[in-house]
Amino acid sequence: MKSAVATLILAATAATAQITLNTPSGATGAIQCEVYQVSWTGGTAPFDIRLNDAANNFIEEVGSNVQSSPFQWTVNQPAGQAFALVLLDSTGATGLSGQFTIQGSSNTACLSASASTGGSSTAAAASGSSTGAAATTGSASASASGSKAASGSSAAASATGSAAGSTSSNSAAIHNTVGAGLVGAFFAAAAALF
Q: Where are the domains of the chain?
A: 2-101, 115-191
Residue type for position 27 = A
- Please give the pLDDT value at position 40: 97
Q: How far apart are CA 75 and CA 38, in angstroms?
A: 11
Distance from chain centroid for Cα 10: 37
Cut 0.85: pTM above it: no
Instruction: Note the maximum CA span of the chain.
Output: 86
What pLDDT, in 10s, does the model give residues 39-82?
999 999 999 999 999 999 999 999 999 999 999 999 999 999 99
pLDDT 10s digits, 148-184: 333 333 333 333 333 333 333 333 322 222 233 322 3
Q: What is the pLDDT of residue 27?
A: 81
Residue of 95, 96, 100 whose CA lies nearest to 83: 100
Do the beta carbons of residue 68 and residue 41 sit within 8 Å? no
Degrees (nearest 5) of the Cα angle 48, 50, 54? 155
Whole-angstrom distance, CA of residue 161 vs CA of residue 144:
10
Q: Which CATH superfamily is domain 2-101 in?
A: Immunoglobulins (2.60.40.10)
Confidence of residue 35 (pLDDT cuts 50, 70, 90): very high
Q: What are phi and psi of 142, to 5 degrees?
A: -130, 140
Tally Cβ neighbours within 10 Å of residue 33: 18
Q: Is the pLDDT reported for residue 15 higher than 90?
A: no
pLDDT digits (tens, 9 = 90+) for 115-145: 433 333 333 333 333 333 333 333 333 333 3
CB neighbours of residue 82 within 10 Å: 13
Give per-residue pLDDT as tens, 76-107: 999 999 999 999 999 999 999 999 999 999 99
Quick one: pLDDT at residue 26? 84
28 — pLDDT class (breaks 50, 70, 90): confident
Identify whether the C-beta of residue 103 lies closer than 8 Å to the C-beta of residue 79.
Answer: yes
Integer Cα distance of 15 and 98 in angstroms:
20
